[in-house]
């Protein structure tokens, strides 16, 4: 099973940043250094403050902490779930895939 290295999320509510309208965000799989300043427990729990530190480091276009705080809650959950998918071990993903096949 191949692990995804990016995930693109289409926002339910586009994010307006000046003249720019952001309708989708691509997240890159983080490495351990990207998670600095947070705890794995907070990230797995989709803690808003933890996500607001990490999402700017892995998003394209690059989000700011303020952008994360302005996201529609449904979009924050979508981004958080995509991020959480990067944290799952390959064995867990393979088991899930076999159960849904």
Q: pLDDT at position 85, please?
A: 87
pLDDT for 4 equals 81
d(CA 23, CA 13): 8
pLDDT digits (tens, 9 = 90+) for 20-59: 999 999 999 999 999 999 998 999 899 999 999 999 999 9
Is the predicted pLDDT of residue 2 greater than 90, yes or no?
no
pLDDT for res 78: 95
Does position 93 have pLDDT exceeding 90, yes or no? no
Q: Render 4-23 in DSSP notation, one character per residue.
A: PSEEEEEEEEEEEETTEEEE
pLDDT value for 89: 75
């Amino acid at each position: 099973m191949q692990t995804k290295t990016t995930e693109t999320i289409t926002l339910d509510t586009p994010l307006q940043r000046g003249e720019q309208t952001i309708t989708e965000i691509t997240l890159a799989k983080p490495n351990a250094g990207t998670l600095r300043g947070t705890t794995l427990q907070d990230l797995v729990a989709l803690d808003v403050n933890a996500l607001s530190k990490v999402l700017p480091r892995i998003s394209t276009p690059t989000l700011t902490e303020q952008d994360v705080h302005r996201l529609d809650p449904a979009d924050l959950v979508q981004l958080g779930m995509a991020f959480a998918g990067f944290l799952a071990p390959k064995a867990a993903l393979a088991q899930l895939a076999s159960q849904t096949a």
